Structure 1
Amino acid sequence: MTAEFGVLGAVEARIDGRPVALGHARQRCVLGVLLVEAGRPVTVDQLIDRVWGEDAPQRAAGALYSYLSRLRSAVAGAGEVEIRRRPGGYVLTADPQTVDLHRFRRLMTLARQSDADATATELTEQALGLWRGEPFAGLDTPWLASMRRLLLGERFAAELDRNDGLLRLGRHSELLPALSAAVAEHPLDERLAGQAMLALYRCGRQADADEQYRRIRRCLADELGSDPGAALRRLHERILAADPGLQAAAGDARSPGVPLTAATPVPAQLPADVRAFIGRTEELATLDRLLAPPESDEPPLTVALLSGTAGVGKSALAVRWAHRVRGSFPDGQLYVNLRGYDAEQPVAVADALAGFLTALGVRGPEIPPGIDERAGRYRSELTGRRMLVLLDNASSVDQIRPLLPGTGSCLVLITSRDSLPGMVAVHGAERVNLDLLPPADAVALLRRLIGARVDREPAVAAALAAACARLPLALRIAAELAAERTGASLAELVAELGDHQVRLDLLNAGGDPHAEVRAVFSWSYQHLPADAARVFRLLGLHPGDNVHVDAVAALTGADAGEARRLLGVLVRASLIHVGRGGRYGMHDLLRAYAAELAAAHDAPADRRAALTGLFDHYLAGSVAAMDALHPRQGASPGDPEAARNWIEAERPNLAATCIYGAAHGWPRHAIALAGTLFRYLDAGGPVAEAVTVTASAVAAARAVGDRQAQARALSDLGRLHRRQGRLDDAAATYGHALMLYADLGERAAEAVALRNLGSVHWRLGDYRQAAEHYRRAWAHYQGLDDGAGQADALVRLGLVDARLGDQAAATQRLRSALELFARLGDGFSEAYVSSLLARLSHEPAELERSAVLLEQSLAVVRQAGDRTAEAYVLTDLAAVHARSGRLAEAAGHLRRALVLHRRIGDRASEAEALNDLGQVLHAAGAAGEARAQHEQALILAREIGDRYEQARAHDGLAATAEAGGDPDGGRPHRELARRGFADLAVPAAPGLEVPAAPGR
């Protein structure tokens, strides 16, 4: 008997085409979870969490066993399909291809691997034809809601792939109606807009294509404050120019075609292809075969491993093959050198994940703090994408595992000196072992690099290849030196190399007795001029991956021209290579060799002076760049664009310098550089990187006993934790900073720390403690005669009063704050406080006056480009409009505020705005859409520990369920909301009437 299962719509099961009765909703949830994990065990705890979430009853396990028993009976007649108890949990033994979800993903994998547009499009349409509606229709748990959003994203990606295929096949006319409808539903999607523009143009509607571009440009400006991407702008230019290349091409073979802009970035991180690549034909053919679709129903290969000794050419082969097949990975290529065998500076897994997430379009503030959370976000971002991930120089399975995608549409290529058996045994990796170059290929590489001299002295050339252990790295170094010494015969060079091999304590690279390459390095090094040799040694001390000529000048004490000349000498000797943007890098073995030489030949004082010069250069450059981006009073104006480009290019080196300086004796540089870099990272840079850098400053300040610097760094770190939603960590960090400032007697800084600590306690729902910190901050500001600080503290105290239900006290404090702001001429703060008073007073005139002031503030902050302030003003304006009954305007403002909160990474404000939007939509009669907003708010509030927003979300979910005629579904949420508000000792469900916590 044949069984078929479905989750892409209502959860269903059919045996021989007849539907199976699956019982009530909770029981179907259990089956839905098992179907998603078909063939894999799911623990009891996982089942309970996914089926009930936090609403699990006390006897959830007993109910679960009952549901499993009934489901086991329901599918009992379906051949080999069973629900079995195994050591890892319960498993549904059905073939995954009998489940529509897994069949959909399999078809999409085959489609993205196909080289024929007609085949790919047909497979994609088959995959889309499996959808019957919303996944898990009629079922609702937090886990299922999250899965539903994920799967709908996969469906949308598949629809975009189908559109591209149909356009390449010239079927633009039949596609146009569907594209028009999709654009209306997704007005900000640039890839979709590009498809619609191209279809319109090919249908002879150039003016409509131009209008489509103008429409999305307006939407992006209004919603995101940004312009269309470069690809969409280029497509628009080609349409206006009536480029003949935009016409549909005949035939079926897949070609580059017209580049359509994507809604998400398409990373292209591969290093430059390798010059003079020789041999490895068998290994390349083996790698090519890995791309072929599996003949059976086995899942596609997702991991390949190139292993071999150091210097054998693993990275060169991986990069060469990656460039050969990049067309098979249209969604991009990711690359990271993990430096797994670098004892000083291996790349941390957390940093590698942060780099990948940034390349995938995740804004810095949205990158989660922990490795597990980052790995989960990384897998989610890769879902549905066809990408190649190259992990170079990995040393262990632990360094690799978090970087593995969770989708069969991606291929990971790993290079390692280790055989990594765990990758093969656990992750099904295909290993390709790389041996030394065959003698003929080794000589051929020398011929390519040296020229005809190899043919004149074939026996000597073979001896030179043998002396280089037939390692490509050593062969290239030897060949470059031979090419420079045209007056010497190859025999003389081989003899000289032999002398070095006798004299030197040879390096056994990677444990392979055949890989003794230090002699080859030494041979090349010994022929360097003394000044170039010194530069080579000092480059081994640099803490980063690549270096600019200006930094080399600072490291060596030379001027830029001389540094450039000496770098050219090292490039010609193949001891360093030129990277992107005119920067220079070194192979890991050569870096280790250079550092060893520096330790042996350069005095400790000279090494320290060199690094001090480098770190001074980085610190001065950072200060100048930040002054250009955010001018301080009295600072000379600079070029903001040049400053931004410099700091982005040097950012990895700046972060590495902070970490290295804190750990190896440059604490003052680490402190100063971290503080300067924080100004950039806090304004929109990667938060994960900012945390690492700022934590190094904390450690450096503690090591030298500089309590003032430690307090400043802790304050910065607390701010970063708060932005990430790590409220407990933020409270602990701010608390430590507060104690230090109090001991130091810095009253102004202590007041700021008290205010920040109060805001964290506000988010945690500890209003009494928040009020205590705000009162102490207010007293400090009074003693300092700081009117703005006093007004700010009064506003915060008024918000606590309002949250706790004392509107009279709240009104009195807010009016006092309003008077202070008016006296100070702070119109922005005056508008904000007016909006709070309007929301408390219920007076239409107050609401109208507040709306006018907020509109004025909105214009000011938009003119200044302050996105954070804009998000807060939009939220305040939405509340005023909602109180005035202008629900459409309120919803529009909240949607724009949400976009900004997400870009900034203010997760607490995002949860609050989601709940606000849910209330507005519910009031407007859109209960279904309102429910979706509250669901997102609940998930986010749980993640960051905001108990008040959790209670609000439950209250909203109860209201939408009741409005939809489902009081039973709303009852658990109503109880959780009641309990949450009671625990916080606040009035139940005040909604938009109670002002928001200030994040300003």
Structure 2
Amino acid sequence: MAAEFGVLGVVEARIDGRSVELGHARQRCVLGVLLVEAGRPVTMDQLIDRVWGANPPQRAAGALYSYLSRLRGALAGATGVEIRREPGGYLLTVDPQVVDLHRFRGLIRLARAAEPDRSAADLITGALQLWRGDPFAGLDTPWLAAMRRTLLGERFAAELDRNDVLLRLGRHGELLPALTAAVAEHPLDERLAGQAMLALYRCGRQADADEQYRRIRRSLADELGSDPGSALRRLHEQILAADPALDVPAADPRSAVPDAPAGDAGNPVAPPVVAAPVPTQLPADVRAFTGRAGELATLDRLLVTPGAEPPLTVALLSGTAGVGKSALAVRWAHRVRDAFPDGQLYVNLRGYDAEQPVTVADALAGFLTALGVRGPEIPPGNDERAARYRSELTGRRMLVLLDNASSVEQVRPLLPGTGSCLVLITSRDSLPGMVAVHGAERVNLDLLPLPDALTLLRKLIGTRVGAEPAAAEALAAACARLPLALRIAAELAAERTDVPLAELVAELGDHRVRLDLLDAGGDPRAEVRAVFSWSYQNLPDAAARTFRLLGLHPGETAHVDAVAALTGSTASEARRQLGVLVRASLVQAGRGGRYSMHDLLRVYAAELAAEHDGEPDRRAALTRLFDHYLSRAEAAMGTLYPDGATVPGDPDEARAWIEAERPNLAATCVYGAAHGFYRHTVALVGTLFRYLDAAGPVAEAATVTASAVAAARAIGDGAAQARSLSQLGRLHRRQGRLHEAAATYRQALFRYAELGDRAAEAQVLRNLGSVDWRLGDYRQAADHYRRAWTLYEQLGDDAGQADALVRLGLVDARLGDQDQAVRRFESALELYALLGDRYSEAYVLSLLARQPRHPTGLERAAAHLEQSLAAVRRAGDRTAEAYALTDLAAVHARQGRLTEAAGQLRRALVLHQRIGDRASEAEALNDLGQVLRAAGQAGEARTRHGQALDLAEEIGDRYETARAHDGIAAALRDLGDAGEGQQHLDRARRIFADLRVPAAPAVELPA
């Protein structure tokens, strides 16, 4: 009997066209996992993790045996289908073509290789027609949620591929309505915006295409602090120039212009799911690359044909410094980039930099950002980041290039968990652990063979190699046949065309003798140092000084303005000297006026600076650099957050400067705290904090702020220390690191008390109470709020008193004392009315409206909140908007306006996620789950409560954890799964009992 299976929607099975009863949710989860892994064994531990997540029941294995037995019975008689136990785990034997997921992927692979375009369009259309909704609809575990995101990304990528094909076929008119709707829903997707721009242009709407570009440019600047990519900028230029290359023949009648834009259509096409970004981080390919044919062929053999997912492939290029590992890795990566359509990730780990190696945390944060994870969503800990990184790569075919790794420990957390990716590592060390544990294929790079070394010299200096073959061979030998040394020597030879090669070789020999490097045991790195010295000695004095001081720069790249600051020169003079260094192959020029150095050259330059430039001169150079970054940062922040005393500037330029320099600013702060530039570090972090806090990544902001704490301690600046500690506490709280936040706030509180700054002390007490609140320590929270209220009263701060009263009222309500809570809210309401604070007044009205026995009218509360919502939107305050939406949803829920409440909570969730307020996100998810269940949508309610549970457990918010369990139990009862629901209900009751609070929901619903 023929069988068909589906996971692209509700998990289902059909035998001879008849639906098969698959049992309850957990049992369907088991089948879903086996279908995804069809033909591959899944271990018992993997099944337990994927079906229950981090909290399996005590008898999970027994439950799985029961589920598998029932599934075998349900599928009995299906031809070619079997669930069997193997040494590697449980395996579902099934033809992939009868599983919609694998059929979808197969059709997409065929489409991407198909010609002509009409065939590709038909294949993609057929693949997309297999989708019946969200994958695994109605099921929710962490693994399924991650797989769901991956599959939705694959679907969107397929939709974008179809858009490209249809545009090539001239069917822009047919596409335009869907493209317009999709761009409105996803304003930051550059590929989608480009497709819409091209369709608009081809429909004769050039002005609209130009406006579309301006919209995404503004959106990218506002949301990400970045500009459109080069491809989108080029398309915009072509549109403005009416480039004929953009035109296509209108052979297909469906390319006609639609009568009305998509927004006016009666039945607009639903927008696609947000596409996963396709990062392209590879450095530029190497000029005049020579040789390494055997090594390239070895790497080529590591490529696997797309199909069933293989184990993870890891290649390791090892060899001495300067032998060309990075050049070979980059050359091969560019050769095979088309085999990795989901993108290429790159990081220079700087593993041999004694002071500034890239940490695992920073490398993961960079990769997650490139993969589209917003800064506030990047987890705080290395393990959590690595897990999120692996989840983001699941099912994606990507190349990961880890350059200059020093140890297995630096690399292991950066390995994907999926065989669809390939990892290429370069290291001076052999990293035996990578081979023994991870099965890495090691490719050892030796010195260039003499013919290849001569070929490289010939490419770089031309016919002189043929004219002086003996001297050319001697030059290659003097450079130890190392590509880095050969390039530097060749550039010097190219500059001195009037000097015979033989004379240059003799000169190089003299330098090697003077440096006493010939007896270095045959270490090729010694030969490289000799070539460095030879090239350096031939530099003009100004260029030599620039080279030495550039080695002191803490960052990986330096803008010409920063180099000017280091050298105490003008930007034009610095650019001239950098040009000399670039021509000598001692410095590499990058985009946007930025320059970098090979790590060996950086170390050599720093050694020369220590030898030739005294400590006062080096200190002065770095002081100028710190002053430069501080003054530019102050100007940029003054533009972004004007206070009336700053000269107006261009916010786009200010934001672009901070984003471009952020790695250098972070490195400079950390370096300054470690090397005695304490006041600069404190000032720079204090200047940048508001931007780093708002723009993220929060983890990077925490690292930078911690450097300010250390610097303030070193100089005994109590005020700076207290301020930095308070800021660091806020960042810990935003990351969900509640215990660390509490400890940091307590340190800040002690410092402010020493300083006698009672206003700041009250603020920290209030923040400390908020951490206690999230941790479920309500009595400790109330104590901190009362102490804050006392200080505010002594200071005559009515707004502070009102805030403390509100927070005390929240504690009362949480502990079940509704009457006391109402009295505090009413007292706060009077103060806010006197102050004219309409937003806070509306918030308190919403709190009163949630109290069942309070007479405050719901209509009055809703009216105030709607006014506040409009005001904060006009001000662009996204945090206040998220809170106002949540409060308004609570009032609307009590009024029975459930559809409106659900919509407001969904919008609030988006804002909370962008801001990074994870605690508020968990609360809003629970509120949304409760509203959805009241509206009869138990399945989605279960999903939302499940998301809240994962988040609340991660950050340690026990009350929201209990609410999530309670909500899941109610939803499961509605769905007919009372057994599992009782387990969640029991957990909720235990937590509420431990907290000593009543199990009251945060959103009051109509009776």
Partner of 1:272: 284
Matches within 5 A, 1:110-259: 110=109, 114=113, 135=135, 140=139, 142-143=141-142, 145-147=144-146, 149-150=148-149, 152-157=151-156, 159-160=158-159, 163-164=162-163, 166-167=165-166, 170=169, 190=189, 245=246, 247=248
The alpha-carbon distance between structure 1 residues 509 and 748, as it changes in their structure 2 partners (threshold 3 A), is farther
Residue 627 of structure 1, CA deviation: 1.9
Whether 2:710 is the aligned partner of 1:708: answer no
Whether 2:479 is the aligned partner of 1:468: answer yes
Task: Work out which of the residue numbers 761, 767, 784 in structure 2 matches 1:756.
Answer: 767
Partner of 1:417: 428
Partner of 1:960: 971
Residue 656 of structure 1, CA deviation: 0.8
Q: What amino acid is the match of 2:382?
A: I
Rounded to whole Å, the distance in 1 between the matches of 2:248 and 2:715 is: 67
Unaligned runs of 5+ residues in structure 2 are 253-271
Residue 389 of structure 1, CA deviation: 2.7
Task: Work out which of the residue numbers 944, 954, 958 in structure 2 matches 1:933.
Answer: 944
The alpha-carbon distance between structure 1 residues 215 and 396, as it changes in their structure 2 partners (threshold 3 A), is closer
Rounded to whole Å, the distance in 2 between the matches of 1:625 and 1:208 is: 35
User: Could you tell me whether the CA contact under 8 Å between 1:532 and 1:569 is conserved in 2?
Assistant: yes
Which secondary structure state, in structure 1, belongs to the residue aligned with residue 357 of structure 2?
A: coil
The alpha-carbon distance between structure 1 residues 539 and 261, as it changes in their structure 2 partners (threshold 3 A), is farther
Whether 2:882 is the aligned partner of 1:880: answer no
User: Could you tell me whether the CA contact under 8 Å between 2:197 and 2:209 is conserved in 1?
Assistant: no
Partner of 1:649: 660
Residue 71 of structure 1, CA deviation: 7.7
Residues 833-877 of structure 1 deviation map (CA, whole Å, 9 limit, x = unaligned): 233233337779733333333233223222222211111112122
Which secondary structure state, in structure 2, belongs to the residue aligned with residue 992 of structure 1?
A: coil
The RMSD of aligned alpha carbons is 4.4
Residue 524 of structure 1, CA deviation: 0.5
Rounded to whole Å, the distance in 1 between the matches of 2:685 and 2:508 is: 46
Rounded to whole Å, the distance in 2 between the matches of 1:626 and 1:898 is: 28
User: Could you tell me whether the CA contact under 8 Å between 1:33 and 1:47 is conserved in 2?
Assistant: yes
Residues 416-438 of structure 1 deviation map (CA, whole Å, 9 limit, x = unaligned): 22333443444444444433333
Residue 64 of structure 1, CA deviation: 4.8
The alpha-carbon distance between structure 1 residues 511 and 5, as it changes in their structure 2 partners (threshold 3 A), is farther
The alpha-carbon distance between structure 1 residues 568 and 724, as it changes in their structure 2 partners (threshold 3 A), is same
Residue 494 of structure 1, CA deviation: 0.7
Partner of 1:694: 705
Deviation larger for 42-51 or 559-568: 42-51
TM-score by length of 2: 0.85
Which secondary structure state, in structure 2, belongs to the residue aligned with residue 768 of structure 1?
A: helix
Partner of 1:293: 305
User: Could you tell me whether the CA contact under 8 Å between 1:919 and 1:991 is conserved in 2?
Assistant: no
The alpha-carbon distance between structure 1 residues 298 and 987, as it changes in their structure 2 partners (threshold 3 A), is closer
Task: Work out which of the residue numbers 770, 775, 779 in structure 1 matches 2:781.
Answer: 770
Rounded to whole Å, the distance in 2 between the matches of 1:384 and 1:182 is: 28
User: Could you tell me whether the CA contact under 8 Å between 1:831 and 1:853 is conserved in 2?
Assistant: yes
Rounded to whole Å, the distance in 2 between the matches of 1:425 and 1:102 is: 35
User: Could you tell me whether the CA contact under 8 Å between 2:124 and 2:162 is conserved in 1?
Assistant: no
Partner of 1:899: 910
Residues 641-674 of structure 1 deviation map (CA, whole Å, 9 limit, x = unaligned): 2222221121111111111122222233222222
The alpha-carbon distance between structure 1 residues 644 and 797, as it changes in their structure 2 partners (threshold 3 A), is same
Whether 2:743 is the aligned partner of 1:732: answer yes
Partner of 2:259: none
User: Could you tell me whether the CA contact under 8 Å between 2:140 and 2:946 is conserved in 1?
Assistant: no
Q: What amino acid is the match of 1:588?
A: D
Rounded to whole Å, the distance in 1 between the matches of 2:207 and 2:646 is: 47
Partner of 2:256: none
Partner of 2:728: 717
User: Could you tell me whether the CA contact under 8 Å between 1:128 and 1:155 is conserved in 2?
Assistant: no
Q: What amino acid is the match of 2:371?
A: L
The alpha-carbon distance between structure 1 residues 75 and 344, as it changes in their structure 2 partners (threshold 3 A), is farther
Which secondary structure state, in structure 1, belongs to the residue aligned with residue 404 of structure 2?
A: strand
Which secondary structure state, in structure 1, belongs to the residue aligned with residue 851 of structure 2?
A: helix
Q: What amino acid is the match of 1:850?
A: A
Which secondary structure state, in structure 2, belongs to the residue aligned with residue 413 of structure 1?
A: strand
The alpha-carbon distance between structure 1 residues 597 and 205, as it changes in their structure 2 partners (threshold 3 A), is closer
Task: Work out which of the residue numbers 866, 876, 891 in structure 2 matches 1:865.
Answer: 876
Whether 2:561 is the aligned partner of 1:560: answer no
Partner of 2:347: 336
Partner of 1:914: 925
Which secondary structure state, in structure 2, belongs to the residue aligned with residue 356 of structure 1?
A: helix
Q: What amino acid is the match of 2:246?
A: G
Partner of 2:672: 661
Rounded to whole Å, the distance in 2 between the matches of 1:214 and 1:496 is: 61
Deviation larger for 18-27 or 405-414: 18-27
User: Could you tell me whether the CA contact under 8 Å between 2:30 and 2:51 is conserved in 1?
Assistant: yes
Residue 440 of structure 1, CA deviation: 2.9
Which secondary structure state, in structure 1, belongs to the residue aligned with residue 423 of structure 2?
A: strand
Task: Work out which of the residue numbers 451, 455, 459 in structure 2 matches 1:448.
Answer: 459
The alpha-carbon distance between structure 1 residues 877 and 74, as it changes in their structure 2 partners (threshold 3 A), is closer
Whether 2:602 is the aligned partner of 1:591: answer yes
Rounded to whole Å, the distance in 2 between the matches of 1:735 and 1:667 is: 23
Task: Work out which of the residue numbers 976, 980, 985 in structure 1 matches 2:987.
Answer: 976
The alpha-carbon distance between structure 1 residues 587 and 666, as it changes in their structure 2 partners (threshold 3 A), is same
TM-score by length of 1: 0.86
Partner of 2:261: none
The alpha-carbon distance between structure 1 residues 836 and 627, as it changes in their structure 2 partners (threshold 3 A), is same
Rounded to whole Å, the distance in 2 between the matches of 1:775 and 1:29 is: 49
Which secondary structure state, in structure 2, belongs to the residue aligned with residue 524 of structure 1?
A: helix
Partner of 2:263: none
Which secondary structure state, in structure 2, belongs to the residue aligned with residue 336 of structure 1?
A: strand
Rounded to whole Å, the distance in 2 between the matches of 1:578 and 1:234 is: 22
Rounded to whole Å, the distance in 1 between the matches of 2:563 and 2:854 is: 67
Rounded to whole Å, the distance in 2 between the matches of 1:617 and 1:816 is: 51
Residue 497 of structure 1, CA deviation: 0.4
Q: What amino acid is the match of 2:734?
A: R
Partner of 2:269: none
Rounded to whole Å, the distance in 2 between the matches of 1:614 and 1:498 is: 37
Deviation larger for 397-406 or 67-76: 67-76
Deviation larger for 586-595 or 372-381: 372-381
User: Could you tell me whether the CA contact under 8 Å between 2:396 and 2:420 is conserved in 1?
Assistant: yes
Q: Percent identity?
A: 70
User: Could you tell me whether the CA contact under 8 Å between 2:183 and 2:193 is conserved in 1?
Assistant: no
Which secondary structure state, in structure 2, belongs to the residue aligned with residue 394 of structure 1?
A: coil
User: Could you tell me whether the CA contact under 8 Å between 1:200 and 1:208 is conserved in 2?
Assistant: no
Rounded to whole Å, the distance in 2 between the matches of 1:233 and 1:179 is: 23
Matches within 5 A, 1:434-513: 434-506=445-517, 512-513=523-524
Whether 2:324 is the aligned partner of 1:313: answer yes
Rounded to whole Å, the distance in 1 between the matches of 2:535 and 2:303 is: 40
Which secondary structure state, in structure 2, belongs to the residue aligned with residue 682 of structure 1?
A: helix
Partner of 2:255: none
Partner of 1:951: 962
Q: How many pairs were matched up?
A: 977
Q: What amino acid is the match of 1:245?
A: L
Which secondary structure state, in structure 1, belongs to the residue aligned with residue 831 of structure 2?
A: helix
Matches within 5 A, 1:294-443: 299=310, 302-443=313-454
Rounded to whole Å, the distance in 2 between the matches of 1:213 and 1:527 is: 54
Whether 2:624 is the aligned partner of 1:613: answer yes
Q: What amino acid is the match of 2:279?
A: P
Residue 594 of structure 1, CA deviation: 1.0
The alpha-carbon distance between structure 1 residues 165 and 637, as it changes in their structure 2 partners (threshold 3 A), is closer
Residues 582-631 of structure 1 deviation map (CA, whole Å, 9 limit, x = unaligned): 11110011011111222222222322222222222222222222222112
